[in-house]
Amino acid sequence: MERGRQGRWHKVRWLAVGIAALGLAGACAAQTYPSKPIRFITGPGPDTLARVIGQKLGEALGQPVVVDQRGGGGGSISGEAVAKSAPDGYTLLLATGTHTINPIFYKLSYDVEKDFAPVSLVAGMPFVLTVNPGLPVKSVAELVEYAKARPGQLNFGSGGNASPPQLAGELFKSMAGIDIVHVPYKTTAAAVTDVVGGQLQMMFAIGALGIPQVKAGRLRGLAVTTVRRAPALPELPTMIESGFAGFEVLGWNGVLVPARTPPAIIERLRGEIVRALQLPDVRETLAASGLEPIGSTPEEFAAFMKAETTRWTKVARDSGAKVDK
């Protein structure tokens, strides 16, 4: 009995020693970090944000930050690259809204919660509920009335099945009690082009694509999907102001690192990212792209992503949204 207790005690003691050693190794790594270039991996879409933040990070950390764009798979290719990287702070992921949507629809090679550590929510932009200018509606209420009088006759576009614009459309469809038909495209830009051309009647266009078209008069904007009005389109009400309580869809961007990255390194990255977001030239560049800087703690970012997954899981289940297998 005594020998058994001693054996268990030795195991516990060596486990404690091992954990302490790992903590010490992490602290030492943080003290010398960074000592080589950092990779900043992005998914599909413009990499403007990564380049802006990467430049400021490089200046603050004293090492080059190389932007590595890995398009395809709706962000899953870039996600896989980071999930399988060493947890040493030298590989960052600029994640977007698809990060929390993909696991609802696809079998991934990684776990979006277990294989990543959040650093900070960085920036966001609204989606804009847009219609072709030829459609005789000038508000969300008028669009709902028009659609109810024509069940199944209005089409809304997206950049593909299970994409954020589709899910925003499905959420609107459900909350408004209307029958509108989803038409998936290979890219969001192609869908926007067809709303401009009249082949589609409407869509929730991501701000980077929708805002310029609204300003040019090629699309009519009815509302934005953020909690507050968008600085780029202050005349447009929010969906909440338009009578859809709780309707919030944010086109977000945030930084993640591989799980088990030392907390001290995560905090160093978070601090420098948040500081960069306060710089006037960064804010000006982001505003020109329709982005608003955010900045958060890792805990706030983790809670945000969890809420996103919960909400879109419900929308997918209620709408029956699926992807082509």
Tens of each residue's pLDDT in the chain, 325 residues: 444 545 544 544 555 554 444 455 555 566 789 999 999 999 877 688 999 999 999 999 999 999 999 887 788 999 999 999 999 999 999 999 999 999 999 999 999 999 999 999 999 999 999 999 999 999 999 999 999 999 999 999 999 999 999 999 999 999 999 999 999 999 999 999 999 999 999 999 999 999 999 999 999 999 999 999 999 999 999 999 999 999 999 999 999 999 999 999 999 999 999 999 999 999 999 998 889 999 999 999 999 999 999 999 999 999 888 876 5
Tally of domains within the chain: 2
Do 214 and 189 sit in the same domain of this protein? Answer: yes
Do 132 and 233 sit in the same domain of this protein? Answer: yes
Do 121 and 132 sit in the same domain of this protein? Answer: no
CATH number at 283 reads 3.40.190.150
Instruction: Return the closest-CA partner of residue 123 out of 56, 184, 193, 192.
Output: 56
Do 175 and 263 sit in the same domain of this protein? Answer: no
Do 139 and 223 sit in the same domain of this protein? Answer: yes
| pLDDT of res. 27 | 57
Please state whether beta strands 220-224 and 65-69 pair in parallel, antiparallel, or not at all (unpaired). Answer: unpaired
With 0-12 CB in 10 A as exposed, 13-18 as middle and 19+ as buried, what is 7?
exposed
Domain span including residue 257: 37-125+250-318
User: Residues in the chain, how many?
Assistant: 325
Total-model pTM: 0.86
| Residue 139: inside a domain | yes
| Residue 306: inside a domain | yes
Strands (E), the chain: 38-42, 65-69, 91-96, 116-131, 155-158, 181-184, 202-206, 220-224, 250-258, 292-293
Do 90 and 231 sit in the same domain of this protein? Answer: no
Tens-place pLDDT, residues 28-71? 566 789 999 999 999 877 688 999 999 999 999 999 999 999 88
